Structure formats: structure tokens, C-alpha cells
Amino acid sequence: MPIKVRAYIYQCKDLPAADSNGTSDPFIKVWDISDKNKKTKVIEDNVNPLYYEVVELEYEVRDINDLESYPPFIFDLFDQDNELLNSNGQYLARAIITPK
């Protein structure tokens, strides 16, 4: 049974600096079972970005009472590199959230 889960993405703190000016241009990619590219907006020149965004995730569940046996949600954090052509961003960090 497919379900939708809303991920409320508020902020990041103390991100590593990926740019030469001591900041980053972070955005978050969220992985789920769909083929759609789900990501936040890019926050320019910031290591403590505020997003305040909601991302809807699709999830396939066989038993709603046994969520802990399902794969986690994965949030990958990247630095946007506008000066590089065809860049998907520089990897910065990952958050793994287990459903409960």
C-alpha cells in the first residue's frame, strides 16, 4: 500500500564550508521510491541555512504497524557549484531517518 509522508525541513546548523569564501550554497535532496527529483531550494552563502519547506515522500508499506522494518528516509546535503557545468553539487552530509 503506497502512502505519502510529509518531511518538514526547517534548518541546518554549522555546515562545513565548501566554498573558498568560507560558506556553502546548500540544498537537500530527498530519496524515496518515486522517480521524481525532490530537493529544497539552494540557500546561497550560508552554513546555517533556514529552509522552512515541506517535501512529500512516497513510501510503499505492507504493514503500517511494522514501520521499523522498512528502509529509512535519506536526506543528502550538497553544496551547489554554479561555476561547474553539469554539476549535481558537492556532497556535504547525510541524514538517515528510520520510520516509526
Higher-confidence position of 24 and 33: 24
Residue 83 is predicted with a pLDDT of 64
Residue 87 is predicted with a pLDDT of 62
Residue 42 is predicted with a pLDDT of 94
* Average pLDDT along the chain: 85
Contact 53/45 with Cβ under 8 angstroms? no
Instruction: Express each pLDDT in 52-85 by its tens digit.
Output: 999 998 877 777 676 667 778 899 999 997 765 5
Span of 16-20, 32-36, 47-51 with lowest mean pLDDT: 32-36
